[in-house]
């Protein structure tokens, strides 16, 4: 099976390295993108824990961008409702709106877990790329061949409407909820130099 495994982890609304996402694994067991630059296992978060008290839904997402702007991008996300129940989706992003690709989510996500535990958000999505051929045509046309290109990754997190889990657009003003993007492009492949690549160039910017 040709697949990509994403592991996104975040403390509250922020990325953090969990045991399963220790920096020590970076460049050895997996390629990584940890931030802010030069952070350690202890400092890769940095946001006050009071965000955990927000009684709301929240989401954690990674977008694949051809340029470094949001627009015509494919997004993999876990959305958590107010009870901490999470679900994984593939969605499509235009500059100012996003919609979930429900057929693609069902066909291409082979396995996923979305856990909110002790205030941590953790999202794992195992994507079967070969199943793309089974996806409804309209949705399929929105999903690029992820393995054939190199991508600017956008790491986005934000709040969701508690009752419905509908995502609220990420913050457009500077701050912790501003998206991070890689300053270099990343490939997903079984056998290429990028397999264990650790991303070191990154920025937090308006997109």
Shortest CB 139 distance to ligand NAG, Å: 8
Residue 12 or 33: the one with the smaller Cβ distance to ligand NAG is 33
Taking every pair of Cα atoms in the chain, the longest distance, rounded to a whole number of angstroms, is 45
- Name the residue with tokens 């457009």: 172
Pairing label, strands 150-160, 180-182: antiparallel
Nearer to ligand NAG, 51 or 200 (CB): 200
Query: What's the min distance (Å) between Cβ of 90 and ligand NAG?
Result: 12
71 φψ region: left (φ > 0), alpha (ψ -120 to 50), beta (else): left
Q: Is 110 in the site for ligand NAG (CB under 6 A)?
A: no
Instruction: Say whether residue 173 binds ligand NAG (CB under 6 A).
Output: no
Among 3, 66, 113, 171, contact with ligand NAG (rule: CB under 6 A): 66
Nearer to ligand NAG, 103 or 198 (CB): 103
Binding of ligand NAG by 136 (CB under 6 A): yes
Listed in order, strand segments (DSSP E) in 71-149 are 73-80, 86-93, 98-100, 109-117, 120-128
Q: Based on the shown chain and the rule CB under 6 A, indicate whether residue 37 belongs to the binding site for ligand NAG.
A: yes
Question: Which CB sits closer to ligand NAG, 99 or 120?
Answer: 99
Indicate the Cα dihedral angle 141, 144, 145, 150, nearest 10°.
170
Q: Which residues pair with 164 in a beta bridge?
A: none
Residue nearer to ligand NAG on the CB measure, 121 or 155: 155
Asked if 203 interacts with ligand NAG (CB under 6 A), we say no
Asked whether position 142 contacts ligand NAG by CB under 6 A, the answer is: yes
Compute how many other C-beta atoms are within 10 angstroms of the C-beta atom of residue 14. Answer: 20
Residue from the set 31, 46, 84, 144 that interacts with ligand NAG by CB under 6 A: 144
Interaction of residue 198 with ligand NAG, rule CB under 6 A: no
Instruction: Note whether 63 and 156 are within 8 A (CB).
Output: yes
């Amino acid at each position: 099976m040709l697949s990509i495994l994403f592991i996104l982890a975040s403390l509250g609304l922020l990325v953090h390295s969990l045991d399963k996402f220790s920096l020590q694994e970076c460049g050895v067991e997996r390629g990584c993108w940890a931030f802010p630059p030069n952070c350690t296992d202890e400092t890769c978060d940095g946001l006050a824990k009071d965000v955990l008290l927000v009684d709301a839904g929240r989401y954690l997402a990674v977008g694949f961008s051809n340029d470094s702007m949001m627009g015509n991008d494919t997004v993999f996300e876990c959305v958590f409702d107010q009870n901490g129940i999470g679900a994984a989706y593939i969605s499509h992003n235009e500059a100012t709106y996003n919609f979930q690709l429900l057929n693609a989510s069902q066909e291409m996500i082979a396995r996923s877990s979305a856990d909110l535990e002790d205030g941590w958000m953790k999202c794992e999505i195992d994507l079967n790329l070969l199943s793309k051929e089974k996806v409804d045509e309209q949705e399929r046309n929105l999903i690029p061949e992820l393995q054939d290109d190199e991508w600017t990754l956008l790491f986005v997190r934000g709040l969701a409407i508690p009752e419905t889990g509908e995502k609220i657009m990420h913050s457009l003003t500077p701050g912790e909820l501003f998206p991070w993007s890689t300053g270099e492009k990343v490939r997903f492949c079984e056998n290429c130099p990028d397999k264990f690549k650790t991303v070191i160039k990154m920025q937090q910017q308006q997109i």
